[in-house]
Amino acid sequence: MKHGLNTDFMREAIRLARVKMLAGAGGPFGAVIVRDGQIIARGWNRVTSGNDPTAHAEVTAIRKACRKLKTFSLDGCELYASCEPCPMCLAAIYWARLKRVHFAATRRDAARAGFDDDLIYREIPKPPMRRKLPMKQFLRDEAVEVFAAWKNLPGKIRY
């Protein structure tokens, strides 16, 4: 096993992608989260079966792992995904503090199958008001007051 790579874990992510796709759970994506050489959570795409556009394989695996470990930080865990994470999943992976990500297919492979995240990748670096999705900012001062209250909140749990 080189640099934490484990073909069994990756094959499990790919197996989940295939089995759950064929079962009608959602798209062809699977993921497993591993800690200390053990799978602690499995996830698969449940977008269509759960009517949840955020129920990607990586996100469902992160949710399960956090519930199992009773924490919001998966520091020390690794993720094996059947495909390169989309921008939403990548952000969730960073928020969850996973130490490493391994993936099989690329985002270009997914695009050839009809899952094209390129629009999102192109939109992210644009200023909010220049994105295709109409966005309008207002009541900023009121929202900033809440951040000031957070900054001074005693006993808060930082994340």
Q: Catalytic positions, please?
A: 58
Q: How many Cα atoms occupy the beta-carbon half-sphere of 143 within 13 Å?
A: 4
* Locus of tokens 């919001």: 72
100 contacts 32 by C-beta, under 8 angstroms: no
In sequence order, the 6+-apart residues with CB closer than 8 A to the CB of 14 are: 30, 82, 104
